[in-house]
Structure 1
Amino acid sequence: MIASAISPTAAAVVALVIFFIVLVARGQPDRREPPHLTPRVPLVGHALGILCYGVPYYAKIAHQTSAPIFTLDLLVNRLYVVNSARMVAAVQKSHKIIAFDPFLTAAANRMAGINGPGLRLLQETQAGGKGVNQEVLHAMIPTMLGSGLDQMNRTMLRKLGPLLDDMIKDAPKTLDLHQWCQRTITTASSEAIWGSKNPFRSEKVREDFWYFESHLSILLAKIFPSVLARKAYLARETVVKAMLEFAKSGGYDDEACSELAIARRNTQVKAGASDHDIARLETALNIGVLSNTVPSTFWTLFDIYSRPQLLQQVRSEIEENAVVVDPMTNVHSIDLGAIRGSCPIFVSAFQESLRVHSNGAPTRMVYEDVVLDGSYLLKAGSVLQMSAPSINSEQRHWGQQAADYNPLHFQKDAADVSANKPRASSFMSFGASPNICPGRHFAAAEILSVAAMLLMRVDMIPVKGYWWTPRLNAWAIAASMTPPIEEYPVKIVPRKEVQGIEWDFVVSGKKDRFELITG
């Protein structure tokens, strides 16, 4: 009724007024800024492109300029997009001015649901907060190395063994590979972090967590989430409640609880955070732990199994260098330490999967006007993103076939120990310094352990008869490795060469970390 009372002329006038208000609010482009790319649809074109395509939209339009950084107008704000490793290094040099902290605060608020005093406690000091988010991150780092990492790896491997045995014991059978990866990684990872009182032992918590994770975009919009995103909102609250019960039941006092979980909680308690807000922030931690490890496992298996020659090479490498046979029992054990140090093709193939399938965009806020690389003015209050799909495939660093999967890309050149150094800032899959993923060594250990055991024990045959590239879930905004949006059924067939053999995991050697390239 109201709409019918407004004439077309009046509607057009209102639209024009709104258009000019937005133009004035945006201000005029500054010639010193990175080149502005013009959208096909005026005013809203770039916003629509990002909504439809996600981060790959940046690579789709990057051909419009040869500049290593460009500007997109998004209604009332500017977005600077870095698509060159050279410019990544320049951003890193200005990390105090171009910072990640505001997005930690936004995640605590919009993703985890922390508000009021609890949010001000976490908020960055530059914005008047207490900076506890950064304190929590700093507390995490030592727990993901040394004894803390060893403890998590041991727990993870103890859990993985039976899960893999169960998957294989009644084969041949058909299963959805991505769903299996999700269930297995969720179980093993959460057990390694939370210990014997792990809240993810509950099937409802697991299901609600993944529903919450896959509908984050609705919650992040924060438009009456308890009403307009009610199912996702309630799913998150299920996980929050489970984390709160975990704390109340003495979960943090359990000897199997990880140093990581304890350090995060102690830091928040010392700062004065409430139990409810701690439960919310740890709900967000689970997103960070699981959202990328699951699709990374899927793509590592996909890339190796779909290439027969590589599959044979990796199997031979693991068998020769990382399988320990007990002469008394004939138990075959895969040695995680040996994979770290003696399986270069396998580890390189894994990192290549991360490079090729990465869909991330490390994000920063520009606190004050700054000239980047002596060439480009970035204005205060703008957002900057580093496009992993573009940077990870830059031909200058990865060769003419940069877009193709090459399992040997990450092998070291024995004659030149510095051969990989130029590639560090051209590999965004673990983020960009100084905000590198602190859990990368644990994730690598888990993914390679799962892959090694499956590669040695089973063949995988896609039900279609060939390995096809699945449709991708561009809406999975928490994952920098894009997961498939469709089922991927494969037939699991035990290898005749190893039938009847009992398998296990062991960890030898002093090194607790993989030598991974980071940006």
Structure 2
Amino acid sequence: MNVYVTIGFIVGIFAYAGLQLMLHLTQDKREPCILESRVPFLDSAIGIMNHRANYLAKLKAQYKASIHTIRMPFQRLYIVHTPHLIQIIQNKANASTFVPNLLDFGMMFSGLKKESKVTLAGAFGLNGNAFTKSVHKHLLPGASLLATTSNAVEKLCASLPNNLDNSSTQGLLELVRHELTMALTGAVYGPENPYNDSKIEASWYDFVPGINHLLYSPFPNLTARAALRARDRVIGAFQKYFETGGHHYAMAMIPEMYEANISHGLASDEAAKMEMATSLAMLSSGSNTAFWLLYQIFSDCSALHTIRQELLEVSTKEETSGGPQCRVLSLNLIRDECPTMSAMLNETLRYHSSVINIKQVQHDTTFANQYLLKKDAIVMIPGQSIHHEKDIWGPSADYFDHLRFLDPASRRNLSSTSAFRPFGAGASMCPGRHFSMNVICSLVAMIVLQYNIMPSDGKWRAPTKCNADLWNAMPKPDRDLAVRIVKKVESEDVQWRFVWAEEV
């Protein structure tokens, strides 16, 4: 037995030495520095398993490198941490060199057949895919965004009283997740929305944990069987939705994307699978953002009082013939006329965001007149590196300060994607950000004005984010917060009406 152990040990030593030799022989000296490798080609996979969304920020803190290389089997990753290098990548002159690479991610978890992936890859060029084009067309500021936001607000107005008016104890994340799911998908998919079926809503959230397996597991069919079965149920619901013409009653974006994919050569059942990507875009980060924003507001009594006063001052009194007083709040005014709430939202995005901007190098190039970046490598820009950079945000960068964006210098940073990038930047900037932020602000304002939220154990404690997914732009808390929700006493004498009434 000792002989076999000895042989195994010797083979292991030679294998390790061989991998280290291969790693360094295939790494050009002109490339960004490669970090110390304990397990060649597998360090990053182990690091992601251990540190998840915090992995890249941990590397920056440990090595202090402006840019460095991570080697994975058959893939190079260049991680960029500093503003001046990010500006070079985002320069329009480099748009054809560093190209957003989100299509592969969307196709990976959507369940498309191999031939469908080939079809889409051939149809989509540097100008973006049907999803990106349609979302930019319909959800950038304009009449379509106004109509879709108003629709979502109406759904929140109808849903919240039914779910919150009675005193209740529930998970804060679970609460906002359900409300946003129904409001966002209802406004986009119309009256035949597949998520109206509670089983399909539950199946979506049963599937989401399986995305990590699709990204990192060599055998996802074994390690994520339950999640993939849940995905099949969601896909089946969307296939039925399109077969029965439900998309004809949705916002124009949905039939437009569906018909575009059909025109590219996808079968109808395969085109329906692309709604997995649409669903992820709508549902992956919004509920986490709303959770963290509500936590930051209600755990700070001073901020809560100020925000309530701002919202009340923006609202108007509506004449009624008897009965309770009626007040109207135009939710579209919040971002411009409620400075503390706007500052709180921006600080929530800065402090909590774990967004990573991903681009693919299209050809060998010399970057910043110094570094060789090789064709087909992936460039990753971690938002955390920028959002916690003390040279940008000052010595308090690692702390949450709800007043930060009341300062003119910090407000100026909002317009710089080299300083503030919770939605990414450039061509890969989230095209649905306006819609998502409109609905999140609306939900939070409705809750703040009408309800008190208290932790069930009497003390606010921020949950950790150690297990947050690397792919998600806003980290999910490791545990939900059990809270008690009670209607505000003064709200019982006020009839609130909420509208989204901006003019185009």
Q: Tell me the TM-score normalised to structure 2 length.
A: 0.92
Size of the aligned set, in residue pairs, is 497
Q: Which residue of 1 aligns with 2:363?
A: 368
In structure 2, C-alpha distance between the alignment counterparts of 1:498 and 1:387, rounded to whole Å = 43
Q: Which residue of 2 aligns with 1:515?
A: none
- The range that moved more, 210-219 or 361-370, is 361-370
Contact 2:135 2:253 in 1 (8 A): yes
Q: 2:399 aligns with which of 384, 389, 404?
A: 404
Q: What is the DSSP-based 3-state SS (H/G/I as helix, E as strand, rest coil) of the residue aligned with 2:484?
A: strand
Contact 1:213 1:478 in 2 (8 A): no
Describe the superposition over 1:8-56 as per-residue Cα deviations: whole angstroms up to 9, x where unpaired: 2332344345435534543343332223221466664333112211231
Q: What is the DSSP-based 3-state SS (H/G/I as helix, E as strand, rest coil) of the residue aligned with 1:380?
A: coil
Q: Which residue of 2 aligns with 1:59?
A: 57
The structural deviation recorded for 1:373 is 2.1
1:470 aligns with 2:480: no
Shift of the 371–124 alpha-carbon distance from structure 1 to 2, 3 Å rule, reads farther
1:319 aligns with 2:312: yes
- The range that moved more, 404-413 or 233-242, is 404-413
| Matching of residues 91-102 of structure 1 within 5 Å | 91-93=89-91, 94-101=94-101
The structural deviation recorded for 1:288 is 1.2
In structure 2, C-alpha distance between the alignment counterparts of 1:222 and 1:122, rounded to whole Å = 24
Contact 2:48 2:470 in 1 (8 A): no
In structure 2, C-alpha distance between the alignment counterparts of 1:318 and 1:390, rounded to whole Å = 33
- The range that moved more, 421-430 or 478-487, is 421-430
The structural deviation recorded for 1:310 is 1.1
Shift of the 114–332 alpha-carbon distance from structure 1 to 2, 3 Å rule, reads same
Q: Which residue of 1 aligns with 2:281?
A: 288
Q: Which residue of 1 aligns with 2:351?
A: 356
1:114 aligns with 2:121: no
Describe the superposition over 1:363-393 as per-residue Cα deviations: whole angstroms up to 9, x where unpaired: 2222222222223222223222111111111
1:149 aligns with 2:145: yes
In structure 2, C-alpha distance between the alignment counterparts of 1:365 and 1:23, rounded to whole Å = 26
Contact 1:363 1:385 in 2 (8 A): yes
Q: Which residue of 2 aligns with 1:395?
A: 390
Shift of the 227–73 alpha-carbon distance from structure 1 to 2, 3 Å rule, reads closer
Q: What is the DSSP-based 3-state SS (H/G/I as helix, E as strand, rest coil) of the residue aligned with 2:311?
A: helix
Q: 1:494 aligns with which of 487, 495, 504?
A: 487
Shift of the 199–132 alpha-carbon distance from structure 1 to 2, 3 Å rule, reads farther
In structure 1, C-alpha distance between the alignment counterparts of 2:32 and 2:320, rounded to whole Å = 67
Q: What is the DSSP-based 3-state SS (H/G/I as helix, E as strand, rest coil) of the residue aligned with 2:412?
A: coil
Q: Which residue of 1 aligns with 2:44?
A: 46
| Matching of residues 230-379 of structure 1 within 5 Å | 230-254=225-249, 257-321=250-314, 323-328=315-320, 330-379=325-374
1:169 aligns with 2:165: yes
In structure 2, C-alpha distance between the alignment counterparts of 1:193 and 1:276, rounded to whole Å = 20
Q: 2:6 aligns with which of 9, 22, 37?
A: 9
1:451 aligns with 2:444: yes
Q: Which residue of 1 aligns with 2:16?
A: 19
The structural deviation recorded for 1:262 is 2.4
In structure 1, C-alpha distance between the alignment counterparts of 2:125 and 2:269, rounded to whole Å = 18
Q: Flag structure 1 segments of 5+ consecutive residues without an equivalent.
A: 512-519
Q: What is the DSSP-based 3-state SS (H/G/I as helix, E as strand, rest coil) of the residue aligned with 1:158?
A: helix
1:484 aligns with 2:477: yes
Q: Flag structure 2 segments of 5+ consecutive residues without an equivalent.
A: none
Shift of the 124–170 alpha-carbon distance from structure 1 to 2, 3 Å rule, reads same
In structure 1, C-alpha distance between the alignment counterparts of 2:230 and 2:120, rounded to whole Å = 24
Q: Tell me the TM-score normalised to structure 1 length.
A: 0.89
In structure 1, C-alpha distance between the alignment counterparts of 2:203 and 2:502, rounded to whole Å = 39
Describe the superposition over 1:84-123 as per-residue Cα deviations: whole angstroms up to 9, x where unpaired: 222221111223222223x412430x20111233112221
In structure 2, C-alpha distance between the alignment counterparts of 1:275 and 1:6, rounded to whole Å = 60
- The range that moved more, 57-66 or 380-389, is 57-66
Q: Which residue of 2 aligns with 1:506?
A: 499
The residue identity in structure 2 corresponding to 1:19 is Y
Contact 2:69 2:77 in 1 (8 A): yes
Shift of the 371–421 alpha-carbon distance from structure 1 to 2, 3 Å rule, reads farther
In structure 2, C-alpha distance between the alignment counterparts of 1:478 and 1:66, rounded to whole Å = 23
